[in-house]
Amino acid sequence: MDEQQKQLKGKVALVAGATRGAGRASAVSLGAAGATVYCTGRTTRSHISDIGRTENIEETAEMVSAKGGVGIAVQVDHSQESEVKALIERIVKEQNGQLDILVNDIWGGETLSEWGKPFWELSLEKGLLMLERAIFTHIITSRYAVPLMVARGQGLVIEVTDGDSDNYRGNLVYDLAKASVIRLAKGMATELKPKGITAVALTPGFLRSEQMLDHFGVTEANWRDAIAQDPYFESSETPYFIGQAVVALATDSNVIEKSGKPLATWYLAEEYGFRDADGSQPHWAKFFAAHPLGSKF
């Protein structure tokens, strides 16, 4: 066990939405640092959610354990209060009330986003469901998980979002969902900082997730072939990058100084020195500033 692994040994984390992408990478990275990680989501080996993808929480938990942590898969629909309550009761029982890290990565809006439409033409049914999955789930989960931290006077809540600024994200409902998560972190931080607990929002750049690779018809091995389809993909980052950001925050003894702030992987990489899986340090903000929308590459 190396020094990084030892840093989170004995810590207990909950990654809500650990099925794939940033959630899976966060869980695995925390496991590599020695943590016990509860990996939750709707998709299991025997039940695929309406997203229709085969990645599942059992796989994630096994990956956590393979990296040296303890992975525990629990099927939870975080929009259902009773299921979240039962999850937290289980953590209380199994971990003697200890919960050190909460990563709220629940999304579920992949099939609900309608790009290229003005808001008055969007499906109201899809929009409201997106808000339920992307915002209400975070509120419900924090409502039941944070009291465990308050009881011990320590903890870290990470709200995973998209973007670290007020820039419009191109779709009214999507923008509301992601901006609301940033606001949740700020509001929670205001109330939790006096209790010794940190809450932040964290965004990746252009995330090279399993689903995004499939969208472009490439794999991680030949992902650069997709740049011809979307030049911005050149500055994409793997989910591993945000996983390293989560660990960096979780192992920072002064992390409370960041409480309430919207943080980004590219700036945290500069501060903490971590790198992506290929050794690079992608910097989405610099790349986008050099190539604003509508510019020619």
CA–CA distance, 207 with 209 (Å, rounded to integer)? 6
Tokens 């995004």: give the residue.
212
Shortest CA distance to 141 belongs to which of 105, 189, 94, 90? 105
- CB contact at 8 A, 30 and 69: yes
Task: Tell me the angle at which helices 239-250 and 21-32 cross, rounded to the nearest 10 degrees.
Answer: 50
**Known catalytic membership, residue 168:** no
**Max Cα-Cα span within the chain:** 57
Task: Tell me the angle at which helices 137-152 and 81-95 cross, rounded to the nearest 10 degrees.
Answer: 30
Instruction: Give Cα 168 distance to the centre of its chain.
Output: 20
Cβ neighbours for 121, distance < 8 A, ≥ 6 positions apart: none
Cβ neighbours for 154, distance < 8 A, ≥ 6 positions apart: 100, 196, 197
Which entry of 144, 174, 232, 240 is annotated as an active-site residue?
174
Dihedral sign, CA of 128, 112, 132, 239? Answer: negative
Tokens 């090279």: give the residue.
208
Q: Annotated active-site positions, please?
A: 174
